């Protein structure tokens, strides 16, 4: 089997173990875990060190205004006690799953996490969040 096929098979297995929408499952007994499952269980979605990838060109990039605004908003949430840095990191890196982690830009994960925490901790309702998103979307159409 080619290394690409092995890699795709591994990512498919990890995707089943760490789906974007988590499906609870029973922990397997140690004697039922093969090497592929063992490797997939060890890797979290944000732990990409040592994984095969294509070479990329390093480019300096100016942060966009929305990225600055996101950072400031998230820092203000921390100052107000809504979350702490460790909770933010866990929620935006580990809890998202590989699909969302790799599919969103860095500050996009911050925004998603901020919205989830505000709703989860009942600072706002999901309806209020959706209404605000619709209001902003209409403003920019």
**Alpha carbon of 47 to those of 44, 98, 102, 112: distances in Å?**
5, 10, 11, 20
Q: Is 101 a catalytic residue?
A: no
Active-site entry in 29, 41, 101, 106: 106
Report the distance separating Cα 101 and Cα 93, nearest Å.
7
CB burial of 74-111 (b: ≥16 within 10 Å; e: otherwise) equals beebeeeebbeeeebeebbeebbbbebbeebeebebbb
Q: Which residues are catalytic?
A: 106
């Amino acid at each position: 089997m080619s290394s690409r096929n092995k890699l795709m098979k591994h990512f498919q297995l990890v995707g089943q173990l760490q789906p974007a929408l988590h499906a609870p499952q029973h922990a397997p007994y140690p004697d039922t875990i093969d090497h592929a499952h063992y490797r997939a269980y060890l890797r979290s979605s944000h732990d990409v060190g040592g994984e095969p990838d294509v070479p990329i060109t390093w480019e300096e990039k100016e942060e966009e205004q929305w990225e600055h605004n996101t950072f400031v908003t998230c820092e203000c949430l921390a100052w107000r006690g809504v979350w702490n840095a460790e909770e933010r990191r866990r929620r935006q890196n580990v809890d998202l799953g590989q699909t969302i982690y790799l599919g969103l830009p860095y500050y996009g994960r911050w925004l998603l996490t901020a919205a989830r925490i505000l709703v989860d901790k009942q600072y706002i309702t999901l309806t209020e969040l959706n209404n605000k998103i619709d209001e902003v979307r209409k403003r920019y159409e």
